[in-house]
Amino acid sequence: MSSTATAQMASLAVLTALFCATLAASGAAGVRVELTRIHSGLTASQFVRDALRRDTHRHSARQLAASGGAATVSAPTRKNSPGGGEYLMTLAIGTPPLSYPAIADTGSDLIWTQCAPCGAQCFKQPAPLYNPASSTTFGVLPCDSSLSICAAALAGATPPPGCACTYNQTYGTGWTSGVQGSETFTFGSAPADQTRVPGIAFGCSNASSDDFNASAGLVGLGRGRLSLVSQLSARKFSYCLTPFQDTRSTSTLLLGPSAALDETGVRSTPFVASPAEAPMNTFYYLNLTGISLGTTALSIRPDAFSLKADGTGGLIIDSGTTITSLVDAAYQQVRAAVVSLVTLPTTDGSATTGLDLCFALPSAASAAPAMPSMTLHFDGADMVLPMDSYMILDSGLWCLAMQNRTNGAMSTLGNYQQQNMHILYDVGQETLSFAPTKCSTL
């Protein structure tokens, strides 16, 4: 998900109008945040259908758009619902600090939360509204700040006195609008582990659509200057997403020096250089060279996932998208390989799950048959997905948890395929590392 003043942005397509804030220089560049998913009683088919609806909007928006510190910052993270497609990180804002959950999104940059006063145009959230008037550390970001969305529009001109930069950010899944501000953010769940970081530029929204799923806002973790990663000068960050069927566990997002992989079997692949133009410059591109199912390498043409000079194509990894999407030339090969290994009757699950390929089990209580792992072959590293990370079971339907995109479009590695995978983004070394892990134990 992401933002730009001239084009709709990727994971969250973004049209920006503008707003201001000040960013005080911060000595802390590390954060620890737990990640969690809230469960609501939705069936898996309802969750997938709703998640795919949001993912489709995000992909359409993308098509339109054609360690640096002394401390580690952490945040608890959990799976969210209703709708169940995103992971939420918990952090606190202001002085005194007010805790709130926000969607953790590697596909966008802006950090924002709903602010009081917030009338009928705001969505219902699980946490109290942040009120800037109640915080002793809130400030409006100057229009000419390097972190102001308005800075480019000013083109070096002196802003008028009291300039406040307003934004109207449109994502693939909804929209939000408000004023950019500067605040102290607090990370970490236990008092002994907490880190307070002053001067974070963020969006103070007083109007939003109802599309943000049990959160109170969003935290952009992309490559742009407004993301939390960039503002903390964090040269690396990591997360481990607990399984979708796990209703109790949380995991942790780490930003800063302590973000590391200690498991055996760590694999690393370089990021592909992002296009310079917005919104594509926010994304973490990877070079996917092929896919195997079991020991069978699929016949996918070598350039299927190539990033073109005009910014089209390529594959990104995105924590804010649920279901992996592949260009049709690759998806059809995956689909055919799965069909060839399953003797159950096929059925179109579009009406119930939104997924193209489903199999009808003998009964709702029937177990799914065994399937081999799927391997994503990246440049220099293989990511092995067990059956439960590419198939989903619900109410007698067993479905391929992937969808297809038009050839030449952007492909996306979604968070369903990232579950139980410890992932490290080393933005300093320009590499992504990963290792299969039971995330609930971290």
Task: Give the residue numbers annotated as catalytic, written as ranges.
Answer: 105, 318
Q: Is 371 exposed, middle or buried (0-12, 13-18, 19+ CB in 10 A)?
A: middle
Q: By three-state DSSP, how is residue 199 classified?
A: strand
Q: Give 336's contacts (C-beta < 8 A, 6+ positions apart).
A: none
DSSP-based three-state secondary structure for 233: coil
Residue 108 Cα to chain centre, angstroms: 8
- Beta-carbon-side half-sphere exposure of residue 113 (alpha carbons within 13 Å): 31
Q: 29 Cβ partners below 8 Å, 6+ apart?
A: 67, 68, 69, 70, 71, 73, 232, 233, 234, 235, 255, 256, 257
Length of the chain: 442
Following DSSP, what letter does each residue of 333-387 receive, concatenated? HHHHHHHHH--SPEEEETTTTSEEEEEE-SSTTPPPPP---EEEEETTEEEEEPG
What's the start-to-end Cα distance of the chain, in Å? 27
Angle of CA points 351, 357, 363, to nearest 5°? 75
3-state secondary structure of 185: strand
1-20 core/surface letters (b: 16 or more CB in 10 A; e: else): bbbbbebbbbbbbbbbebbb
Q: Which amino acid is at 239?
A: Y
**HEC assignment per residue over 381-441:** EEEEECHHHCEEEECCEEEECEEEECCCCCEEECCCCCECEEEEEECCCCEEEEEECCHHH
What six digits make up the tokens of 275? 């296009």
Lateral strand order in the sheet of 391-394: 346-349, 355-360, 397-400, 391-394
Report the 10 Å Cβ neighbour count for 273. Answer: 10
